[in-house]
Amino acid sequence: MALTSSMLFSSVGKKLLNAVSGLTLLGFILAHLIGNLTLLTGNSDAFNAYGHFLIHKTGVLLYVFEYGLIVFFLLHIITAVSVWWDQQVARPTSYKKTASGGDTSKKTLSSTTMIYTGALILVFAIMHLITFKYGPAEAQGYTTIVDGVEMRDLYRLSIEVFLKPGYLIWYIIANALLGLHIRHGFWSAFQSLGLNHPRCTPILYKLGIVVALIMGFGFVVIPAYIYFKGGVL
């Protein structure tokens, strides 16, 4: 077995890496969404205990996941930028007129804007980390006691953040872009992995739309619910 770097960074290899990292990141945000649903229970302890568990009870696993995520993020970004760059070089004179061939074409707004939606999702992810992961914590008085254990009051922070309409609008936009990104990204990842089957591919293509809607709306439901309930869940 000699999976050389030249093979990995060939046109086929790059898409393989992009697909694997993309699906991994999708897995992560899916878990993130499910975890965040504890916010909607209205029980502040449930969400805080969940956050506390992730940070303090997972031990070395937390770092494996965190650094792993960074690696997959970088892999996804590097391969995507490389694909995009090759595309700029491969057609030095652009068409005066472009139209879709229609028929079986899978060219959509989603597929042609992947690099832009991806870039905006990255901006969102960084801002999201600043707001929450590196936001006010115990030192700023955001503490609570759950079952006799003192922990960061992430629930209070979440409620405070999402009561601001600016955040709500930004989250709606960012997650709509995330949905748009997944709409092409989901089925395309399987195609990049060489997985195409006359029966399964049409299902995966439709499933991509469902996953895009779940992710796009799922992450908006939480801040919107908090905002419209005035923070009292």
Partner 1 sequence: MSETKNITVHLKVWRQKRNEKKGRFESYTVKDVSTDSSFLEMLDLLNEDLTKSGKEPLEFDSDCREGICGTCGLVINGVAHGPQQAIATCQLHMRKFKDGETLTIEPFRAKPFTPIKDLIVDRSAFDRIISKGGYVSTNAGSPQDANAILIPKKNSDLAMDAASCIGCGACVAACPNASASLFTSAKISQYALLPQGQPEATRRASQMVDQMDLEGFGNCSNHGECEAVCPKQITIANIARMRREFFKAALRS
Binding site for partner 1 (CB under 8 A): 1-4, 7, 10-16, 82-83, 86-87, 89-107, 111-112, 114, 184, 187-188, 191-196, 198, 201
Nearer to partner 1 (CB atom), residue 112 or residue 140 = 112
Nearer to partner 1 (CB atom), residue 7 or residue 123 = 7
Smallest distance from partner 1 to CB 87, Å: 4
**DSSP-derived pairing of the beta strands 143-146 and 149-152:** antiparallel
Smallest distance from partner 1 to CB 17, Å: 12
Nearer to partner 1 (CB atom), residue 83 or residue 146 = 83
> Is 95 strand, coil or helix?
coil
Question: Per DSSP, what are the bridge partners of residue 145?
Answer: 150
CB atoms within 10 A of CB 168: 18
Smallest distance from partner 1 to CB 22, Å: 12
Contact criterion met (CB below 8 Å) for 211 and 23: no
**How far are the Cα atoms of 4, 31, 138, 163, 190 from residue 42, in angstroms, in the given order?**
52, 20, 21, 15, 38
Smallest distance from partner 1 to CB 102, Å: 6
Nearer to partner 1 (CB atom), residue 57 or residue 197 = 197
Smallest distance from partner 1 to CB 225, Å: 35
**Whose CA is closest to 223, among 177, 183, 178, 171?**
171
Give the angle 162-168-170 at the CA atoms, nearest 5°. 130
Nearer to partner 1 (CB atom), residue 38 or residue 192 = 192
Distance of CA 119 to the CA centre of its chain: 12
